[in-house]
Amino acid sequence: MQGTPSSNVPGTPKRPSASVNPNNGTTTVQWEQPDLKGLPISGYVLRATSNNGQHSWQQQLPGDQTQMRIPGADGDQNGSLTYNRSYTFEVKAQTAAEGAFSPPSDLVAPYTGPAGIRITNKVRTGPQQWQYTVEATWRGKVGNIRAAGTAQGDKPGDGARTFDATVNWRGQGTASFQACLEGACTQAAQDSQSNPLPNVGNFREDYGSGCRPNPDIPGSQMYEPFRLFVSIDPNGSRQYMSNFRFQASYGYQPNDTQPNVVENPGNWQGTINGAGEYMVQSRRAEDNYRMWFDTSYDLEGYGTVNIPQHTFVVTDCPGG
């Protein structure tokens, strides 16, 4: 605005506006050219002042510029705005003389939100439960962490947060976590879980030290001890398995199809050996006979799991 000069001092600008872009943390300050009193403008001075009054800076700008985009920063720097701090802005015009600063803008606080999220820990806490520790990265403002899928919940995101996930036995699913602030959310951090039953199978026979004299039948030999090893793959749930049961049924002669003797060795409590097996020691093998082994175990949160019956022939010693 130019004409016949009425004063050497330009007019005072109106209150500037300020707005934050959470995508990149920048703050845009805008103002209108004041009454220049007919004088040619030479520039503007923009001043930023923190709400605690401890940080203030000003910057010289050209006369054709009526806005400034100011970056956010993690510390105090001239020409930038510190995250976690609020600011007001004032502007004044310069001609041959320097005008007065405008009234301050409304307070604004730079932030980005949110910058990222990650799963930092995962532990199994029960037969069907896991616990996740999740952390989000915030600058300027803190929002919420939202869980979905096998984990549920919505918690303030300031610091590490834990969420419980549930996956039923024989089930699978995915826990998903997002950091959200004022409608903007990060891409989800995800982790999948499966919860299969412990796998029991691959029965292995062992005839001990070989043939020995049979104390019950003179002149006969037998294998003793006879042991049956059962391979166990707990699938991460060993502590939730208990009360293994082995019941042996057997019928003499290899062609028998039905057991004619039943004995119950009882509940065999033990630990998985270095080869990942449980062991049960059976009766001695005096003659050829067919053996059926019924096996089961209890699983916390599920009940009793019955293993398919295992059948094999126990052979007699050569010439026994």
How would residue 64 be classed by pLDDT, with cut points 50, 70 and 90?
very high
Amino acid identity at 292: W
Q: Which residues contact 284 (CB under 8 A, 6 or more apart)?
A: 214, 222, 223, 224, 225, 226
Supply the pLDDT for residue 320: 53
The tens digit of pLDDT for each residue in 97-127 reads: 999 999 999 999 999 878 889 999 999 999 9
Residue 261 has pLDDT above 70, yes or no: no
Q: Count of residues for the chain?
A: 320
Give yes or no for a contact between 177 and 279, defined as CB atoms under 8 angstroms apart: no
Distance CA 277, CA 274 (A): 7
Summarize the confidence of residues 155-178 as an average pLDDT. Answer: 96
Name the one residue in this structure whose structure tokens are 């049960």. 280
- List Cβ neighbours of 260 (8 Å cut-off, separation of 6 or more): 251, 252
Confidence class for position 81, pLDDT limits 50, 70, 90: very high
What is the set of domains in the chain, with CATH numbers?
Answer: 17-94 (2.60.40.10), 113-195 (2.60.40.10), 199-314 (2.60.40)
How many of the other CB atoms lie within 10 Å of CB of 203?
16
Mean of pLDDT values over 292-305: 89
315 and 288 in contact (C-beta within 8 Å)? yes
At 263, the pLDDT band (50, 70, 90 cuts) reads: low
**Which token pair is 200?**
């029991």
